[in-house]
């Protein structure tokens, strides 16, 4: 019993600020080169991929992919997006973006391929909705030496987002 009191006192001494999210609406981006991984988002009751957009900077080898994340019913979602995991693989260079608890998508594989065609960084894409674990997996085969920057944007006026910047060399 004496040890329980000491353990309880130690737990009370831990800083509670680690559980409080920062007041910004974006998380610090991390650049992946060669191979690497990162994750973000928050767990919830379920999410929907609402839209995928690609923009490119003229004269630069930079493309931005924006993945709009909504609630399970397909509505806009305030706050951070659902849990995601991004992994950049090497040989062949490939970006795998996995969204947990995302059994729904308003974008199918044909629409995804159409939106990402003529990319300076992406050679091929594949999309898989896994009904067993309710996840959405996107695989993008990349051109060699493409660097990837991934970050999340909390929804304030619009829905939450996961942003992927592709930096082709």
DSSP assigned state of 149? E
User: 131 or 11: whose pLDDT is higher?
Assistant: 131
Q: What is the pTM of this model?
A: 0.80
User: Which band of pLDDT confidence, cut at 50, 70 and 90, is reported for residue 11?
Assistant: very low
pLDDT tens digits for range 93-105:
999 999 999 999 9
| 25-167 topology per CATH | Immunoglobulin-like (2.60.40)
DSSP class per residue in 62-113:
EEEEEEEEEETTS-B--BSPBPEEEEEETTTTEEEEEETT--EESS-HHHHH
**Cα angle value 44/45/47 (rounded, 5°):** 85
Range of lowest pLDDT (21-25, 69-73, 115-119): 21-25
Taking residues 125-147, report their average pLDDT.
Answer: 92
User: Which band of pLDDT confidence, cut at 50, 70 and 90, is reported for residue 169?
Assistant: confident
- Note the pLDDT of residue 167: 87
DSSP assigned state of 61? S
User: Which band of pLDDT confidence, cut at 50, 70 and 90, is reported for residue 34?
Assistant: low
Statement: residue 14 has pLDDT above 60: no
Statement: residue 5 has pLDDT above 70: no
Statement: residue 51 has pLDDT above 60: yes
């Amino acid at each position: 019993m004496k040890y329980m009191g000491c353990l309880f006192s130690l737990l009370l001494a831990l800083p509670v600020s680690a559980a409080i999210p920062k007041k910004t609406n974006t998380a610090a981006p991390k650049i992946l080169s060669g191979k690497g991984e990162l994750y973000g988002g928050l767990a919830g009751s379920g999410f929907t991929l609402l839209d995928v957009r690609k923009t490119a900077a003229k004269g630069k080898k930079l493309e931005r992919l924006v993945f709009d994340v909504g609630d399970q019913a397909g509505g806009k979602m305030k706050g951070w997006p659902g849990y995601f995991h991004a992994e950049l693989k090497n040989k062949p260079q490939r970006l795998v973006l996995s969204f947990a608890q995302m059994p729904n998508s308003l974008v199918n594989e044909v629409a995804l391929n159409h939106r990402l065609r003529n990319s300076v960084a992406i050679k091929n894409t594949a999309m898989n909705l896994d009904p067993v674990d309710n996840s959405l997996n996107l695989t993008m085969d990349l051109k060699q030496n493409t660097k990837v920057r991934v970050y999340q944007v909390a929804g304030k006026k619009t829905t939450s987002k996961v942003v992927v910047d592709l930096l082709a060399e």
